[in-house]
Structure 1
Amino acid sequence: MSNVGLLYVGAVLFINGLMLIGVIPGKSAAILNFFVGGMQVVFPTIVLIQAENDPGIILGAAGLYLFGFTYLYVGIIQVTGVSGEGLGWFSLFVSACAVVIGFIQLTLQDPVFAVIWWIWAVLWFLFFLLLGLGMESLAHTTGWFTILISHLTGTIPAFVLLLGRYESNVPLALTLAALGSLALLIAITLGRRRAAATEAEESTPAQLVT
């Protein structure tokens, strides 16, 4: 994935996370999804035209399409109000592809990006549970995980790459995996607190009546 593209992955994931926890309205978030989704469909198409059948370049473009189509899909859903089940099942496909790409990164001696792709696989699997299977109780968990890993897997690596200081080794990959696991634990905790608070609010009128 290109350095600039990765930077905007961080941006749009951050915005989508805020949307999922109710901070940003869906239609407002849709604008950035269209911008970034369009960029990550147009740019890889240009790259493929110039790839000359280079497998590494083609692999990178394929990964960008997975993100680009997701963001365009999100934008369309927010603007039109259509059901999100299709995006949910597409997210399952993206999650599976991300697992495979992570293993490919290992064969390319890049364990850090292998972990990044696996963290994205977890995130897109949460999108599948939320949208594909309708598990709405996971909305805040998914939102917080999206916010936390937006910078961990997007913004920070992008700036490191842009500065020409990127390194990939096993200790860094294990550190990133630990931070990703911590982000998931925090997201689950915050999601459960929100669910408990919502349940308490809904039960209050009934308690007052009795």
Structure 2
Amino acid sequence: MSNVGLLYVGAVLFINGLMLIGKVPGKSAAIMNLFVGAMQTVFPTIIISQANGDPAIIFGAAGLYLFGFTYLYVGLNQLCSLPGEGLGWFSLFVAVCAIVIGSVLLVHFDDPVSAVMWYTWAVLWFMFFLLLGLNMESLAITTGWFTLIVAHITATIPALLLISGAFKSTTANALWMAAASLLALIFAFVMGRRAALNAPAPAAMTQAG
């Protein structure tokens, strides 16, 4: 993924995380999703058309469509008030692809940082699958907080460092990113649990007699 594209992945994930925890209305978040989704479909198409059949370039560009289609799907769902099951099952497809892409980057291209990014995104998209595809609404806050935090761990901060030339794909940096992502997941589950405990009780349970 290009460094500039990665920066805007961070931006849209941040907005979507805020949407899931109830801080940004869905239709407001839809605009950013459509902007970034369009960018992440047009750019890889241009890259592939100019790749001259180079497998490495095509492989790198192909993963961008997974992001692009996800964001376009989210944007259209929010604007048109569509059910989320289709997006949820597509998220499962993305999660599986992300594992494969991360493994190829690690083994074939010796790029541990990018591999950890894709593995983390696999976890994130699997959570989208649980939330939307299987209607596990209790995970909404947890997924929102995880999305919000890993937006910066796996996208915004690495993108800015890569653009400046100050970030290298080393095993040490990959381990730091993996540890930060794991802590983000733990924190997200804590926040989700806290939200569940603070949720109003059902009316049948609060009415005595």
Give the TM-score normalised by structure 2. 0.97
Other-structure match for 2:151: 150
Once the two structures are TM-superposed, the CA of residue 192 in structure 1 deviates from its matched residue by 0.7
Distance 1:73 1:45 in 2: 18
Once the two structures are TM-superposed, the CA of residue 66 in structure 1 deviates from its matched residue by 0.3
Aligned AA (1:40): Q
Distance 2:165 2:177 in 1: 19
Identity of paired residues, percent?
Answer: 63
Unpaired runs of at least 5, structure 2: none
Moved over 2 A (4+): 203-210
Q: Pairwise mapping of residues 77-116 of structure 1 onto structure 2 (< 5 A)?
A: 77-107=77-107, 108-116=109-117
Once the two structures are TM-superposed, the CA of residue 79 in structure 1 deviates from its matched residue by 0.5
Give the TM-score normalised by structure 1. 0.96
Aligned AA (2:138): S
Unpaired runs of at least 5, structure 1: none
SS in structure 2 at match of 1:4: helix
Alpha-carbon displacement from aligned partner over 1:169-199 (angstroms, at most 9, x marks no partner): 112111111111000000000001101111x
Find out whether 1:190 has 2:191 as its counterpart.
yes
Alpha-carbon displacement from aligned partner over 1:103-141 (angstroms, at most 9, x marks no partner): 111121111111111000000000000000000000000
Distance 1:207 1:142 in 2: 28
Other-structure match for 1:70: 70
Distance 2:206 2:96 in 1: 46
Distance 2:56 2:4 in 1: 18
Once the two structures are TM-superposed, the CA of residue 208 in structure 1 deviates from its matched residue by 5.2
